[in-house]
Structure 1
Amino acid sequence: MSLKKLHAAILCSPGVGHLVPVLLLGRRLLTHHNLHVTILAVTISTTTAQSELLTLFTTDFHLPVIQIPAADISSVVSADAKVVTRICTMMRETIPTIRTTISSMEALPDVLVGDIFSMESWVIAEEFEIPKYVFVTGNAWFTGLFTYSLVLDKEVVGQYVDHTEPFEIPGCKPVRPEEVVDPMLDRDDEDYRVYLDQAVGVTLADGMLINTWEKLEPKSLDALRNNEILRSVVKNKPMSQQRFVWVVRPPAGHVTYGSFFKPGHSGEPNGEYDFLPEGFINRTQKIGLVVPSWAPQIEILNHASVGGFLTHCGWNSTLESITSGVPMIAWALYAEQRMNATMLTEELKVALRPEVLPTKKVVAREEVERMVRGLMEGEEGKAMTENVKRLKEGAEEALSENGSSYISTCKFIEDCWSQIQR
């Protein structure tokens, strides 16, 4: 094999949810596999969380990051276009700037890795004749649904949410109608067509990286690998009397940073929280801490006093909780979070969840209290703590030298070299 260092450029669409795993992947390739890595982060504007992350990874870990300003899409998409459509359009319209950025590098990268919103950028990889890989920042079960959606689109009649039986995904756990990802909620919406185009893009990549590990999702990974598919601390009401840290963002419309596309400042002016119930801060100040907008979540989860995490079940937060050995309360809201919540509660048994999705019905404070006490004090919570500790050990084993994730990354690098030498 050549002594030349492999240079991987990793392209990331806007949003902290994708930026975190991209930065972590870049750091791992740099520090554990001796690759030359450049992160290409398409940004709308720098939020507090994004700024903190970029500073951490560029300063502390010496990871090269190039920020690419996203194209203005205000004249391209309608104001009511949904998130998937807006991000994909934004990435498509930014292609000229991405191309210029890559071509102006001192040396062209040997391989281009992009998240699932970056796949229209495959044209750039083809122009430069370099291999292209997709990095799925979600889990393998979601990847199974995502790629198999092209088949479901032809087989399923009517709206997915109107069906009563789960949708079969070859080799994977079936997906219930109420668990499908947001773009599948309305087949008549433009978001759904864009989502299917993304699924096509995945099949055009030279390979796929998934943000999971072998022992966490053996069944789904096996299905994907064998082409069965492809041919806190607790956030709670004070009724539970548990100490808590609550990272709180104002509701949409209250201030701009509640919106994905209109990030604003990092906290309420003068430290006020007028969207919370009157007297909430005073009543809870002895047992709880309310933090505006952003907090160092990994540090909090790894603190010895943390007993549970009420989470929206984004895959980043899910992995951070598991690798910290912290059981969860699954408060799924949108995207693939409903699937994640099902995995956590029914398959992995490391989380509790409300009887009804929080998006469908207001969850009574008595139920929140019940879940918190069950997680922190009950026998079920103790069992979940033991389960999540085993998963944490599995993650550490996977990341260790000669672990399954380490070996998979080595195979990815070998595959890159073979693609280059063809």
Structure 2
Amino acid sequence: MPFTVFLKPFLGLIAFIVYTLNKTMRIKSLLFTTVWLSALACTAGPNDVPLTEKDTEPIRVKAELVNDKLKNPWGMAFLPDGRILITEKEGRIVLLENGEIVNDNVAGGPSSVVRGQGGLLDIELHPNFENNRWVYFTYASNEGDGDGAMTALSRAQWNGSAFENHEVLYKGSPNTRASQHFGSRIAFDRDNHVYFSIGDRGNRDGNPQDITRDGGKIYRLNDDGSIPADNPFIGHKGAKEAIYSYGHRNPQGLAMHPETGAIWSHEHGPQGGDELNLIKKGANYGWPVITYGVNYGGSPITDETTRPGMEQPVTYWVPSIAPCGMAIVHQSNYEGWDGNIIVGSLKFNYLVRLVVEDDEVVAEEKIAKGIGRVRNVEMGNDGYLYVGVEGGGLYRLVAD
């Protein structure tokens, strides 16, 4: 067992003492931050599992440029014919064929607005796409009540060159002029329910813990936009019945594990405390009541990292890596990687490969270091991982 595991309780005690003094004696927040983050940095995750490289020869991969003309590739969907649909945050849908842009503004998709972190966000094919041709989108929309925008989920049918029959399935409300935390990723489960995320929209005290309000939630709908009869908050007075889980900050990773069927998500923490979560029906993930992070600048949000009735993350990152995009490796060209979770880092310009056994993270490896600000990572239907990079375009990970 690593020495830091023995050291952790003592550092945690010191952090708590300093926190108490900070409230009563108003000592400088810098001292608090230093001790608090030092204590949390010694953690290997909620289960104290040391995150180290596996005792096997690691596969060496390199990032191969596919297209450098993309500006901010937020989402990508791989068509059965090998072409790729990519959302640009500014509001365009781009079609790639053999690495070349063949249409830089595909018609018929959603009308989004660019507001801070919001714009045209994720894109996902229906699991039965080859028969029904449905494609799903999340985006910032100014439709509905209030000034500003809020995250929406919609779908449209692909006709081979454009979209038809666009329809909005869910629109968060009310609109707000806040510029942050729109979410938003899309995933399907084995029963073709569609899941999507909306961040807390900068209102951490009002949205995440209140199931009568949108924001800070992961939602679950039938593929036609209707609400499943077994959703956890059906019949609760005033509840948004599309909610599946709550207490989230800003989830920008969402995927179904192809082997277990479980839904996984990751979300941005504040300063520290980014989380990887296994999403459970009706569960409360604690934000902002519990967190492993602090406010930007170092002041405390809470002195609680656990509370009964609130879920712990499977693992977390201190300092923050700013996670965005997530893929679960399957049917891949990477020997021994199937079942691993790949997470992008906006902050540190790399990918994190997480080895998962029995729903616990047992090892971590940084790959594709220096690739740039990772906005998205997806498994292609050719067995390779594709990475969207802000200002850098699209890359594919190949053997080095």
Same fold (TM over 0.5): no
**Which structure is higher in helix share?**
1
**What's the TM-score once normalised by structure 2's chain length?**
0.26
